[in-house]
Amino acid sequence: MSASETGSAAQRLAGQVAVITGTGSGIGRAMAVLFTRQGAAVAAVDLDADRLENLAQQIEAEGGRLATVRVDVTRSEDCKTTVHRVLEDLGRLDILCNNAGIIQRPRCWRSAKRTGITTWL
């Protein structure tokens, strides 16, 4: 944390609990790091257990508070489990960042791929 980030500005999320999906890499990971540096407790949600563990090690080394939740956010039951875990582990939920990128190819993509590109030309 730079000298300009010290003091009360560095703790503008103190006492808040955030759930951030897609924290295994990229923007989600950066948000988790930033939010904990700003004083929030973060529930980091991702499918990749190894990346969650790596993030937890980094945040804990910096003195942040983090709970990791390995779930598939495309499944509603997993989302419910996440909320219950957050309330159990962190006591409340103030901020939700739905950041996970979900790519699902339509069913027609498989049949189009089997047909071949030359058929469409």
Residues 55-65, mean pLDDT to the nearest whole number? 96
CATH code for the domain in which residue 25 is found: 3.40.50.720
Q: Output the pLDDT for position 101.
A: 84
Cβ density class 15-39: b for 16+ within 10 Å, e for less: ebbbbbbbbbeeebbebbbebbbbb
Number of domains in the chain: 1
Lowest mean pLDDT among 10-19, 46-55, 111-120: 111-120
Cα 13 to the center of its chain, rounded Å:
17
Structural domain of 99: 3-120
Lowest mean pLDDT among 38-47, 62-71, 86-95, 106-115: 106-115
Residues 98-118, mean pLDDT to the nearest whole number? 65
Q: Output the pLDDT for position 54.
A: 97
Q: Which residues contact 12 (CB under 8 A, 6 or more apart)?
A: 38, 39
Q: Output the pLDDT for position 118.
A: 58
Query: Residue 17 in contact with residue 95, Cβ under 8 Å?
Result: yes
Q: Output the pLDDT for position 102.
A: 74
